[in-house]
Amino acid sequence: MEEKIRIASIQEIDLRGARTFRMGELEVAVFRLDDGSIKALENRCPHKAGKLSEGMVCGTNVHCPLHDWKIDLASGLVQAPDEGCVTTFGTEIDEQGSVFILVEKEVLQSASGT
C-alpha cells in the first residue's frame, strides 16, 4: 500500500532543479525536468553516496556530482559502463500544482526505524 506525501508546490522546484526532503533516515531528491515532469529518487549515489540533488540534470538523467555517474531519473538505473541502481518513487501533481511522492508504507516504516 502506498502513502501519498505532499512535498512542495510545483513553483517551488526550479526547472532542471532539485529539492530534498527527509523521511526519517531516508533523504529524497525531487527533480523537475524540462518537460515539467517530476521525478523522485533516493538522494544517494550507489557508488560513493554522493548527493544526487547537487548533480546536473541532463534530459532524463542526473549526473552524480562526485564522480559523474549518470543515473536515469525514471528507473534509477546507473548508465553503462558503471553499474548500480537507486530507489525511485512515483510522483503526482494535482490540479492546484501540489507535488506528491508515492511511498510504500514498508519504506516509510523502515526509514523511521519502526
In the numeric block, the cell 526532503 is attached to: 21
* Single pTM value for the model: 0.86
93 has a pLDDT exceeding 60:
yes
**What domains lie within the chain, and their CATH numbers?**
2-106 (2.102.10.10)
pLDDT band at residue 110 under the 50/70/90 scheme: low
Which cell numbers in the block locate residue 85?
541502481
Tell me the three-class secondary structure of the chain, residue by residue: CEEEEEEEEHHHCCCCCEEEEEECCEEEEEEECCCCCEEEEECCCCCCCCCHHHCEEECCEEECCCCCCEEECCCCEECCCCCCECCEEEEEECCCCEEEEEEEHHHHHHHHCC
